[in-house]
Structure 1
Amino acid sequence: MRTDELADSIRARIHRGELGPSDQLTPERELAAELGVSRQVVREALSGLSTEGYLEARRGVHGGWFVTELAVPFAAWITRSLADLNGIVDVRLALECQAVRFAASRRTEADLERMIAAVKELDNAEEDPKRYRHADLAFHGAVALAAKSPRLWSAIESARGELFEPAEELWADHRHLESKAFHEEILAAIGSQDPELAVSAMTRHIETTRGELIALRRRRNTA
């Protein structure tokens, strides 16, 4: 794995929400051993992400590499062209709508139980952005498992790695409550095995995200 590939992988994990503000990364030595690369490759990748504003190094007994508050990289990401932003959302829309269509037709009771547990966790995480972020990941992961299509999930993960909306942004004006409502609609549609209703709910969910990002882009570009 090259330096740029490792940096891309970590950046995508942050974009997807697998890593968020104040989360600590695996120590350099362990990360190098896990990936089978030199510590120099790891150090260069992390340093590059630090320059971009994604990571910061902390010294001391509890030091290491930590995810920043992400204000700087998000400010840079959101200023991309409108065509590029729409293109990223379009890909996610196409992939995730197909995933919920499959999930509604193919889900098992075990799949449904995983989704229910994730939505309950969203309820319990209303005051905790980090906990909400992990519950959101769990829900989308459960939908992917229910779709019974590993290749489709791989494509969705790639698309989610390009789309960047830190969970903490949702707390700015309580948009996470609307997001949670969409998750509940998607769950209900999959539970009743209604593919068209599931696609409708997912479409509105992602189109709402598109609208939020475009509005944020407009505000940042006119500030």
Structure 2
Amino acid sequence: MARQVTSTTLAQAVADHLRMRIHRGDVSPGERLPAERDLAEQLGVARISLREAIRQLREDGYVEVRRGSTGGTYVTELRRPAEAWRSRMREQVGEMDDILDFRIALETETATLAARRHTEAGLVPIREAIAALSGVIGRTAFRQADSRFHVALARAAGNERLEEAVEAARGELFSPRDLLPFREPVEETLRDHQAIYEAVAAGHEGEAAEAMRAHLERARRQLRFIVFGAADDAEWPTD
């Protein structure tokens, strides 16, 4: 018998959705979520389900509710959920690599399709994401610019399901770069994004896929550096 959909399962789905948005950097530490009524309307759910989802996120340390004139629901500094994520990645051997393998499969095909199907209009947001990355100040801005690039590339590929899968996979890799004492890999990421863009814009499918693969393999090394530890003043691993 199929499992019935209840308000509890819906609330969990809402909590998971908001958690993934935070993981991807769509909503950053210190940022206020939309008002309850507005957020419930955006998500297409009843306010009671949203309240339960917010309660779950509060218990997990993702958000806090503030009172007063500047009250509302705010994303925390994420230290507790970031450490919980790192602990899970350490305990569940191979999970992080499984996610990265999945991302490589998705995003190399995304780059291939973007090289084949892109329009001139579709290239504009990719260039804008690269420009945003070149001028970032701070780790939160870095994460947001990086996310913009990958989403824009997925849209240029012209497949909505692929775009949704890319966003979901990115949400599973909670990379708490803005919480840890590491230098942002801006130069390496900018170089990678530019190489991917140039191959896509030129319509070189194989080169676009290989540039994306190299980029995500570098991300794998950086994430392993975050998860499995290094000295607090260590630099990002480079080629």
| TM-score > 0.5 by shorter chain | yes
Q: Could you report, residue by residue, the CA deviation over 1:134-173 in whole angstroms, capped at 9, with x for unpaired residues?
A: 3223222221121111111111122112111135258722
Residue of structure 2 in register with 1:212 after alignment: 222
Contact 1:122 1:132 in 2 (8 A): yes
Q: Could you report, residue by residue, the CA deviation over 1:100-139 in whole angstroms, capped at 9, with x for unpaired residues?
A: 01111111222222211221111121x1333333322322
Shift of 1:46: 0.9
Identity of aligned residues (%): 38
Residue of structure 2 in register with 1:84 after alignment: 95
| Alpha-carbon distance in 1 for matches of 2:154, 2:31 | 25
Instruction: Say whether residues 1:153 and 2:163 are aligned partners.
Output: yes
Instruction: Say whether residues 1:48 and 2:56 are aligned partners.
Output: yes
Instruction: Say whether residues 1:201 and 2:207 are aligned partners.
Output: no
For 1:87, give the aligned amino acid: D
For 2:25, give the aligned amino acid: G
Q: Aligned runs of 1:32-71 on 2, under 5 Å?
A: 32-71=40-79
Bigger CA drift: 79-88 or 36-45? 36-45
Structure 1-normalised TM-score? Answer: 0.90
- Structure 1 stretches lacking a partner, 5+ long: none
| Alpha-carbon distance in 2 for matches of 1:108, 1:213 | 33
| Alpha-carbon distance in 2 for matches of 1:208, 1:156 | 17
Contact 1:78 1:213 in 2 (8 A): no
| Alpha-carbon distance in 2 for matches of 1:184, 1:36 | 37
Q: Aligned runs of 1:1-223 on 2, under 5 Å?
A: 2-79=10-87, 80=89, 81-125=92-136, 127-168=137-178, 172-219=182-229
| Alpha-carbon distance in 2 for matches of 1:35, 1:169 | 28
Q: Could you report, residue by residue, the CA deviation over 1:187-206 in whole angstroms, capped at 9, with x for unpaired residues?
A: 11112221111111111111
- Structure 2 stretches lacking a partner, 5+ long: 1-6, 231-239
| Alpha-carbon distance in 1 for matches of 2:43, 2:24 | 20
For 1:103, give the aligned amino acid: A
CA RMSD after TM alignment: 2.0
For 2:70, give the aligned amino acid: H
Q: Which has the higher helix share?
A: 1
| Alpha-carbon distance in 1 for matches of 2:99, 2:192 | 20
Aligned length: 219
- Secondary structure of the structure 2 residue equivalent to 1:65: strand
Structure 2-normalised TM-score? Answer: 0.84
For 1:24, give the aligned amino acid: R
| Alpha-carbon distance in 2 for matches of 1:41, 1:143 | 33
